[in-house]
Amino acid sequence: MGDLGQRLPQTVYTGLIAQREIGLWSAVSLIAGCMIGSGIFMSPQGVLVYTGSPGASLVVWAVCGLLATMGALCYAELGALVPKSGGEYAYILQIFGSLPAFLVIYTFVLLFRPAAIAAVSLSFAEYAVAPFYPGCSSMPQAVLKGVAATCILLLMLVNCWSSRLATMLTNVCTVAKVFSLLVIVGGGAVVLGQGRGYTEAFLFAFHNTTQQAGRIGMAFYQGLWSFDGWNNVNYVVEELKNPKQNLVWALMIAIPLVTSLYLLVNISYLLVLSPNEILSSNAMAVSWGNQVLGAWAWLVPLAVTLSTFGSVNGTFFGGSRVCYVAAREGHMPQLLSMVHVHRLTPTPALIFTAAVALVLVIPGNFSTIVNFLSFLGWMTYGTTIGCLLYLRIKKKNLPRPYKVPTIIPVIMLLASLYLVLAPIIDHPQIEFLYIFLFLLSGIPVYFLLVYFQCQPKWLQMATLYLQLLLEVAPTTKNVD
């Protein structure tokens, strides 16, 4: 521990990061804000391509919402049993032990969350600069990556400055993006009322539906990407007011709301755009706006920009907390478990997350990483659901403030196995092997740095100087 940490008693900073400032509606906003990102504006085309028919695509969207709801209910029970920030990492650490938890945080910190931030930031950049390049099918990559990097740095500063400011920004962006989705839903209703819609898509809704398990799995990857974020509130349980009640309520309000909006938005897309227009469009929402809004079509890029900006902010807010919790448990450098002595924000963890995301922006491409992030994510979700089933079998008498029927985690575990195995078996790709190799590379890292605690002297010195430079100090857990 550095000199600053020795001068400032830890008891003074007990629970700094865990100040309970997130109320019910802020939690609802955090979940909805993280879920409604770029996916609903970009993924519908992928779902339709993989399923082969409009009816099957709508079924996939509905099932994705159902899976997100069931997963969230399972996570709510785990959150009540293990009331710690950190989400999957905290639950796996408590139940399965140190090594599995380290592998989760290893992939989460170095790959999953930074890649998600990088991907959505690139999507933000694409829509943000689109008005400045009218008629261009492709924009300069240097400009796109520069805007994406600016987005990451700006949101890092916001989150470092104030947790309350970050949640306020999430609330504002969530209102804006929900309003934009309502505009799309309303526009579809107007088109239908005027008798101008492509109703043929619904008369032959399931024509040409694919029968291949792998393609169905890939369709779910595309759809579930749009629902990613349903578990973000579990990362900040220690900052949630009255978590045993508000956690469940926030999930049950936010996820059905988002699912309903997604279904209605997809129906609006199918009413306004022909199948050929859907398949040929790089951004369905923009094509929709051009046909329905006319001179006001510029509102669509603005809506997507706000949507992705809020989504990146919510991912930053939750993802940095996981990094912080892992450092607090000794699975990440000690510096990452410290918070600013005045701002009470996890500044080192935020800076680290931003730095990795900036590195991934350089080679990053939105469309190429969605499937593989979903693949990695559902490996983690399946393992976490396994924690709940393990507790049901081994610790039946454990007091549970909230309990879901056992059939729900069983269905979620089977769905996770399907989503992980079906694409590999039906359509194997070398990238899946790379993900497994990356995961396995965490085992020697664990034994070297965690189990045997090999701490180079230069790392200790760097921790000391960075602690003084960033004005951060250690904290202890909030167990309220």
User: What are the backbone dihedrals phi and psi of residue 435, each rounded to the nearest 5 degrees, phi first?
Assistant: -65, -45
* C-alpha dihedral sign at 386, 390, 396, 401: negative
**Residue 6 clears pLDDT 60, i.e. is over it:** no
**24-473 has CATH 2.40.50.140 classification:** no
> Considering the entire predicted model, what is its pTM?
0.76
The residues near 191 (Cβ < 8 Å, ≥ 6 apart) are 197, 268, 271, 272, 292
**Mean pLDDT calculated for residue range 276-285:** 73
* C-alpha dihedral sign at 331, 32, 127, 201: positive
**Mean pLDDT calculated for residue range 266-282:** 81
Structure tokens at 447: 């034994």
**Mean pLDDT calculated for residue range 239-250:** 77
| Closest residue by Cα to residue 36 from 300, 255, 188 | 255
Q: Which of these ranges, 251-255, 278-282, 344-348, has the smallest mean pLDDT?
A: 278-282
The residues spanned by each domain of the chain are 24-473
How confident is the model over 29-38, as pLDDT tens digits? 778 877 887 7
Highest averaged pLDDT of the listed ranges 62-66, 219-223, 296-300, 344-348: 62-66
**pLDDT recorded at residue 420:** 85
**Residue 161 clears pLDDT 80, i.e. is over it:** yes
Q: Kindly report the average pLDDT of the chain as a whole number.
A: 80
State the helix-helix crossing angle for 39-51 and 299-328, rounded to 10 degrees: 90
How confident is the model over 381-426, as pLDDT tens digits? 899 999 999 988 888 777 777 788 889 999 999 999 988 887 788 7
d(Cα 442, Cα 377) in Å, to the nearest integer? Answer: 17
How confident is the model over 447-478, as pLDDT tens digits? 988 888 877 777 778 888 888 888 887 765 55
**Mean pLDDT calculated for residue range 273-300:** 78
**Residue 21 clears pLDDT 50, i.e. is over it:** yes
How confident is the model over 101-121, as pLDDT tens digits? 899 888 887 788 888 888 888
**Mean pLDDT calculated for residue range 340-365:** 82
**Residue 327 clears pLDDT 50, i.e. is over it:** yes
Tally of CB atoms within 10 A around 39 = 26
Residues of the chain with pLDDT > 90: what percent? 11
Tally of CB atoms within 10 A around 146 = 14
**Mean pLDDT calculated for residue range 137-160:** 86
d(Cα 226, Cα 40) in Å, to the nearest integer? Answer: 6
**pLDDT recorded at residue 118:** 86
* C-alpha dihedral sign at 285, 290, 296, 301: positive
**Residue 479 clears pLDDT 50, i.e. is over it:** no
**pLDDT recorded at residue 19:** 56
- Residue 451's Cβ-side half-sphere holds a number of Cα atoms within 13 Å equal to 13
Q: How far is CA 276 from the centre of its chain?
A: 31
How confident is the model over 210-233, as pLDDT tens digits? 888 778 888 888 888 888 878 777
| Closest residue by Cα to residue 266 from 97, 479, 44 | 44
